[in-house]
Structure 1
Amino acid sequence: MSDSSAAPAVDLRDLRISLDGTPILAGVDLTVATGEWVTVIGPNGAGKSTLLRAVGGLLPAPDAVRLFGTPLGELRRRERARVVATVAQSPVVPPGMAVLDYVLLGRNPYIPPLGRESAADLAVVHEVLDRLDLTGFHARELATLSGGERQRVFLARALAQGATLLLLDEPTSALDIGHQQEVLELVDQLRRTHGLTVLATMHDLSIAGEYADRMVLLADGRVVASGPPDEVLTEDLLARHYRAHVRVIPGPHGPLVLPTRPTLKSR
């Protein structure tokens, strides 16, 4: 990779993606600074997951995406895997695979061809499993875990990868509120102590606003608002683009979005 000490972690310029002939992203510009946490929000079908897949190299957009100053198309697969790790909403789970073996897949970018994982690789994996409250799950098959437990295993694999850019697509959708907080606090701690950069999508707007440095609101494949959470999570913007009735009140770590019932019309 090129010397990119001053380059942003993510730089999107006129990102356009169509799937089966249908435009999904219609010219997105977005910059994420190294060490920043940016959360993309928007109604269903806005293009949030598509944006993350393009940044992760899973959709063809090599000229529109730069990672740490290098065009995505210039990164070989193993190089890209050392830079960016993705936690998808519904990853493919190999049948019969145990938790330890699945998380070890995150170390593949560092294992030589035809080689085996080292003691250092195993140490990384065990540390991540411990931090995600998964100690004791090593031999369990993924298929036997609850949705929340699997979600933590998916995150463990991404963290074991050691990448400096973490893409989180609805990372807490299957978690109870306690594990939601544990997972997000861990990600934020790693961001602060290891310079991790986070680009996430989230449906829970209050939780999103508590952790993000900056939020980006997508609608109809375009950026319609970008800024600190208190500038994006406004009653006007949410009513306009989500067609939702909400109240937004200040919270200790960010705006709190409270759904409210529409006013009933008297008969």
Structure 2
Amino acid sequence: MPAVRVDGLRVVLDGVPVLDGVDLTVGVGEWVTVIGPNGAGKSTLLRAVGGLLPATGACTLFGTPGAVLRRRARARLMAVVPQSPVVPPGMAVLDYVLLGRTPYIPALGRESAADVAVVHDVLDRLDLARFAVRPLATLSGGERQRVFLARALAQGATLLLLDEPTSALDIGHQQEVLELVDRLRRENGLTVLATMHDLSVAGEYADRLVLLADGRVVAEGPPPEVLTAELLARHYRARVRIVAGEHGPLVVPVRR
């Protein structure tokens, strides 16, 4: 039973088809990254799988049709980390991560001691305990990204949807965040479905890549099968050289 199965997914926004018959499967414990040129529909796909956009077609999460999952049940299975999370002004790190426990707090109720304990455990594991009372806005980009992951992990979800998780980070913080996600995946059995623009980084960390173009899947498979000069020239209109790396192919732009 896969963690995610999408069949014939179609999304129309303002009368314009953005996704047109997408099929996708993500195995339990797998890291799948969706790549593609601007406007291909990557973020739309993630939002549709997360139940944040209306879509037609079938989407099942761990064997359960997404359409029948209530909001709280979905949040206990899946955590979404968008590109630019909305952070309430002045909110401290501890309070922000505690928002991840919302699916477990009764309506009009308050967090329990168990909820607070979960949050402190996550902060400890992600080396964020020293920032607990700091306003989130005062942290560096890499530190904030770890806090966003902490909130997702505090949900107790086993599926992480990461939309461009390193787009605003320098290369050092990119590595820090992605290594953290990979370690948590191995230690906690998490499943990761992500989108990325950086093709070399995508190839380094993903088990499998899915290439979207014009709202459709045009290639999928292990990184060496998808990151080819021919496919990237066709769908990105890019001239590149592919260099074999230790963990995956590296994509090097070549001047015309």
TM more than 0.5: yes
| Cα shift at 1:152 | 2.2
| Cα shift at 1:73 | 1.0
Counterparts of 1:15 and 1:31 in 2: how far apart (Å)?
A: 12
Counterparts of 2:55 and 2:179 in 1: how far apart (Å)?
A: 32
Counterparts of 1:155 and 1:62 in 2: how far apart (Å)?
A: 29
Counterparts of 1:71 and 1:244 in 2: how far apart (Å)?
A: 38
Tell whether the 8 Å contact from 1:62 to 1:71 is kept in structure 2 after alignment. Answer: no
Q: How does 1:137-176 map to 2 (within 5 A)?
A: 137-176=131-170
Structure 1 position 65 matched with structure 2 position 59: yes
Q: Tell me the equivalent position of 1:3.
A: none
Tell whether the 8 Å contact from 2:36 to 2:212 is kept in structure 1 after alignment. Answer: yes
Out of 220, 225, 228, the position equivalent to 1:231 is: 225
SS in 1 for 2:131: coil
Unaligned 5+ segments in structure 1 are 1-6, 263-267
User: % of aligned pairs identical?
Assistant: 80
| Cα shift at 1:62 | 6.4
Give per-residue Cα distances to partners, 1:219-259, cap 9 Å, x unaligned: 00000000000000011111111111211111110111111
Q: Tell me the equivalent position of 1:78.
A: 72
Tell whether the 8 Å contact from 2:142 to 2:174 is kept in structure 1 after alignment. Answer: no
Name the stretch that deviates more: 15-24 or 122-131.
122-131
Give per-residue Cα distances to partners, 1:6-48, cap 9 Å, x unaligned: x211111110001111110011011111111100000010000
Q: How does 1:191-202 map to 2 (within 5 A)?
A: 191-202=185-196
Tell whether the 8 Å contact from 1:62 to 1:72 is kept in structure 2 after alignment. Answer: no
Structure 1 position 257 matched with structure 2 position 256: no
Structure 1 position 91 matched with structure 2 position 68: no
Q: How does 1:1-267 map to 2 (within 5 A)?
A: 7-61=1-55, 63-262=57-256
Tell whether the 8 Å contact from 2:46 to 2:163 is kept in structure 1 after alignment. Answer: yes
Name the stretch that deviates more: 130-139 or 45-54.
130-139
Counterparts of 1:196 and 1:147 in 2: how far apart (Å)?
A: 24
| Cα shift at 1:160 | 1.3
| Cα shift at 1:61 | 2.6
SS in 2 for 1:27: strand
| Cα shift at 1:63 | 4.7
Name the stretch that deviates more: 61-70 or 126-135.
126-135
| Cα shift at 1:189 | 1.9
Tell whether the 8 Å contact from 2:12 to 2:55 is kept in structure 1 after alignment. Answer: no
Stretches of 4+ moved more than 4 A in 1? none
**Aligned pair in 2 of structure 1 residues 22, 205: CA closer, same or farther (>3 Å)?**
same
Unaligned 5+ segments in structure 2 are none
Counterparts of 1:133 and 1:255 in 2: how far apart (Å)?
A: 31
- The code of the aligned residue for 2:214 comes to D
Name the stretch that deviates more: 168-177 or 45-54.
168-177
Counterparts of 2:150 and 2:171 in 1: how far apart (Å)?
A: 18
Counterparts of 2:200 and 2:117 in 1: how far apart (Å)?
A: 35
| Cα shift at 1:122 | 2.2
- The code of the aligned residue for 2:52 comes to L
SS in 2 for 1:121: helix
Name the stretch that deviates more: 124-133 or 167-176.
124-133
TM-score, scaled relative to structure 2: 0.95
How big is the alpha-carbon RMSD for the aligned residues of Structure 1 and Structure 2?
Answer: 1.5
Give per-residue Cα distances to partners, 1:187-242, cap 9 Å, x unaligned: 11222222211000011111111111100000000000000000000111111111
| Cα shift at 1:97 | 1.4
Give per-residue Cα distances to partners, 1:84-143, cap 9 Å, x unaligned: 000000112112211110110001112233332233322322232233343322222223
Name the stretch that deviates more: 66-75 or 177-186.
177-186
SS in 2 for 1:115: coil
Tell whether the 8 Å contact from 1:167 to 1:199 is kept in structure 2 after alignment. Answer: yes
TM-score, scaled relative to structure 1: 0.91
- The code of the aligned residue for 1:160 comes to A
